[in-house]
Amino acid sequence: MAVRMRRGRAVGRGERGQALIEVGLALPVLLLMVAAVIDGGWAFHEAGMVAAAAQAAVRAVAIQEGGAGRCAGAPPAADEATAVAAARAAAPRLDPGALTVIPTYLEAACNGRMRTIAVSVAYPIRALTPWFVPLLNGRQLTAQAANAVEELPPPWWGQADEVAAQQAQIGALQAQVSSLESAYQAENGIVQDQQSEIASLTAADQQAAAEITYWSQTANYYYSLWQSLTQQNGGGNGGNRN
């Protein structure tokens, strides 16, 4: 019995040791997988923020560059300041001191009236877990966005005041037309009411004329009858006298 108990204890200690060895071998792999998920998601998020910063920066610079007439040379310092401000506003969670924003022209000169402005954004990434520090720290996330800009304005450029004045005149004319239409509708309503009254009066006159005609015909009939009776009575009296 003593021998069997010793063997059982030895077997139990061997199984526990084997389990510890298996956990020791699997735990680093499991931790590495968790760290890969964490740092991979973090890197993806940071890359999206950098791309959004580049798009916002080039949009702001393109609006500022429109009609500026810069068909030669590099972007001015004002464009860089605008790009930096727009990039920081679009990615507020990124460290503004570590964000590098550089605007450039893709062409040396204008193609017709057009020129392409591009903004490059770079940001250093840092790992959240110690396992990926050697792999991620020191690397740069980069993104670039470009937009075509009409540097040389068309002939109608700068006539916004004239267009606004013309639009104001058009609006005033439209208001006058609307007021005239309202007045016409009011007058038309009055005319329709008067026409209705005239029609009712005409109907009344026609009815009165019909009554007058009836009574005139009736009077003529009785007058003719009276004359015939008078003539008959006069002829009868004359015969009696003879």
In this predicted structure, what is the pLDDT of residue 205? 86
In this predicted structure, what is the pLDDT of residue 25? 76
pLDDT tens readout for residues 50-81: 999 999 999 999 999 988 889 999 999 999 99
| pTM summary value | 0.57
DSSP readout, the chain? -HHHHHHHHHHHHHHHHHHHHHHHHHHHHHHHHHHHHHHHHHHHHHHHHHHHHHHHHHHHHHHHHTT----SSPPPHHHHHHHHHHHHHH-TTS-GGG-EEEEEESSSS-BTTEEEEEEEEEEE---SSGGGHHHHTT-EEEEEEEEEEE-SPPTTTT-HHHHHHHHHHHHHHHHHHHHHHHHHHHHHHHHHHHHHHHHHHHHHHHHHHHHHHHHHHHHHHHHHHHHHHHHHHHHHHHHHH-
- pLDDT at residue 181 tops 80: yes
Rounded to whole angstroms, how far apart are CA atoms 239 and 242? 6
Which band of pLDDT confidence, cut at 50, 70 and 90, is reported for residue 137?
Answer: very high
- pLDDT at residue 193 tops 50: yes
For the segment 133-146, the average pLDDT, to the nearest whole number, is 94
- pLDDT at residue 236 tops 70: no
Which band of pLDDT confidence, cut at 50, 70 and 90, is reported for residue 3?
Answer: very low
With pLDDT > 70 as the criterion, what percentage of the chain qualifies? 88
For the segment 7-33, the average pLDDT, to the nearest whole number, is 70
In this predicted structure, what is the pLDDT of residue 165? 84
- pLDDT at residue 12 tops 70: no
Those residues whose C-beta lies under 8 Å from the C-beta of residue 126, and which sit 6 or more positions away, are: 133, 136, 137
